[in-house]
Amino acid sequence: MDSSQAVAASLDATFVRLQRATTSTLKAITIDVLGLDKGDTLPKGDVYRERLGVGSGTVQQAFSILSDAGALKTKSRGHLGRVITTLRPSRLWQLAGLDPVRFILPPRGPGEVRAMAEFITEAMSGVGIPCVIDHVGGARRRFAAIESGKADVVCVSSGFADLELSQARSDIGLIRHPRGTYYAPGRLVVLRHPARPTGRRVAIDPTSADQAGLTRAEFPADQGYEYVETDFPSIPVKLLAGVVDASIWHEMRTLIPPRLAGLEVDQPTRPATRELLDRSSAAVFVYSTRRSELHAIVGALGSSKFAAAVAACTDPQADAADRVDLAWVV
């Protein structure tokens, strides 16, 4: 390699190092900004230089890129730092190359879950931040995905949140919606086989904290009821096959509705069941504060529009045969 080639290689290496430094600095500043609000103060440039091991020029260049893109405007307060005057979450997210927000919701089927998915899609589109949505059964499984880092936001019932997340945690945030947004009024029912109205074999899904708790409340073991572990989606089939006689069921769209299959559908009757259902009927979004940038979406996820979306998706007309969406049928 001659001297000119050596100089060129050295310059290329320097450019790459500078580019990497600018990218990492840009991302660090962006994450800090997304965790704040307009009017808040950003750390001083010295903080970024020391934290990231970069020069003052790199920090200034990162701020210039964000400003030129219209993603961030700040006002200097000298030694106190920079005050945020304008921030655009969608542009900040894009410039930093941040991953989409990962949501995990309950399994498809209930109208309330469809409302959750539609609401989240609209809310995230409104703030211009990408997201992916998956569905997993069992609130404990969904919450475990938060702890393992496989999800950023999950939805659970208020009953689970109050029972399992009653202790305040710095790494977990909660967005609680009104009652009736996780279990809309009248949508949690009791299924029975008409030929076995007094049968004592009751389906229970131990992976669902709510279904198991409500089952024990409506069909107490000390009154002679026998629990048969059953995967929740297959409960109507097990009833028709004679494996079980009754079950707690969350109304959802099935290819053949339980009523048409000849099953009896009633409301829970025991006060303990109704009380537990009332405490559990609110939807709670649980999110990881380890990704401080999720602060930018908290307001959107707390919107009152969610309750209206649930009401629309659980209206009796929403389950009419001519409006059935097979993507939401179990």
In-domain check, residue 108: yes
Contact 71, 95 (CB under 8 A): yes
Which tokens hold the place of 226?
């026998």
Residue bearing the bigger pLDDT, 330 or 253 = 253
Phi, psi angle pair for 223, to nearest 5°? -110, 20
Contact 31, 87 (CB under 8 A): no
Structurally, how many domains does the chain consist of?
3
**pLDDT more than 90, % of the chain:** 65
Q: Do 242 and 174 have their domain in common?
A: no
Give tens-digit pLDDT for 207-255: 999 999 999 999 999 999 999 999 988 999 999 999 999 999 999 887 7
230-233's contacts with Cβ under 8 Å and 24+ in sequence apart are 230/203, 230/204, 230/205, 231/205, 231/207, 232/107, 232/137, 232/205, 232/207, 232/208, 233/107, 233/109, 233/330
Q: How far apart are CA 44 and CA 80, in angstroms?
A: 7
Q: Do 11 and 128 have their domain in common?
A: no
- Looking at the DSSP assignment, which residues form a beta bridge with residue 285? 155, 175
Residue from 72, 60, 301, 97 nearest 181 by CA: 301
From 53, 76, 96, give the residue that closes a domain: 96
- Looking at the DSSP assignment, which residues form a beta bridge with residue 74? 84
Q: Do 195 and 59 have their domain in common?
A: no
Q: Do 199 and 268 have their domain in common?
A: yes
From 75, 96, 117, give the residue that closes a domain: 96
In-domain check, residue 301: yes
In-domain check, residue 111: yes
Q: Do 161 and 289 have their domain in common?
A: yes
- Looking at the DSSP assignment, which residues form a beta bridge with residue 227? 202
Q: Do 157 and 299 have their domain in common?
A: yes
In-domain check, residue 145: yes
Give tens-digit pLDDT for 270-326: 999 999 999 999 999 999 998 999 999 999 999 999 999 999 999 866 555 555 565
Q: How far is CA 205 from the centre of its chain?
A: 22
User: What strand order describes the sheet that includes 172-176?
Assistant: 131-135, 101-105, 153-157, 283-288, 172-176
Whichever domain contains 156, its CATH number is 3.40.190.10
From 61, 96, 131, give the residue that closes a domain: 96
Q: How far apart are CA 311 and CA 314, in angstroms?
A: 5
Kindly state the greatest CA–CA separation across the chain.
94
Q: How far apart are CA 33 and CA 94, in angstroms?
A: 13
Read off the pTM: 0.86
In-domain check, residue 18: yes
What is the domain range of residue 11? 7-96
Q: Do 13 and 92 have their domain in common?
A: yes
Q: Do 46 and 121 have their domain in common?
A: no
In-domain check, residue 166: yes
